[in-house]
Amino acid sequence: MSTTGEPSTAQRLVGDIAPKLAELTDEVLFGDVWDRPELARRDRSLITVASLVTNGSTEQLVSHLRLAKQNGLTEAELVEAIVHLAFYAGWPRAMSAIAVAKRVFSENGQLDKT
């Protein structure tokens, strides 16, 4: 459970079929790894987004783009990271990631160009 008493995202997504995976996601990944002081959450978000782009994990990219914005990355920075990765991860992966970013960033009704 989250601090609000509501099921976490991991619990909602996989808790019914893989409760241990949901528990590890909540307690180890987001409860320990993401809070380690050696890297800021902003940096962890950038690294995670880059990793998801390079391996084509567009389904997980949706929530991590949202989290990256919460952690202080701008839409412009995230787009630039995806453009940069096109030269290392490949054009198709960058194009797929940009399509996801466009959808996620337009959720609030307009793209933030800053």
Q: How far is CA 9 from CA 4, 38, 50, 85, 92, in A?
A: 12, 25, 21, 28, 29
User: Out of 3.30.470.10, 3.90.1580.10, 1.20.1290.10, 3.90.79.10, which CATH number does the structure's domain 40-114 have?
Assistant: 1.20.1290.10
pLDDT at 108: 75
Query: Which amino acid is it at 10?
Result: A
What pLDDT was estimated at residue 50? 98
3-state SS, residue 108: helix
pTM: predicted TM-score of the whole model, two decimal places = 0.86
Phi, psi at residue 82, to the nearest 5°?
-65, -45
- Residue-by-residue pLDDT tens, the chain, 114 positions: 556 679 998 999 999 999 999 999 999 999 999 999 999 999 999 999 999 999 999 999 999 999 999 999 999 999 999 999 999 999 999 999 999 999 999 997 655 555
Domain ranges for the chain: 1-38, 40-114
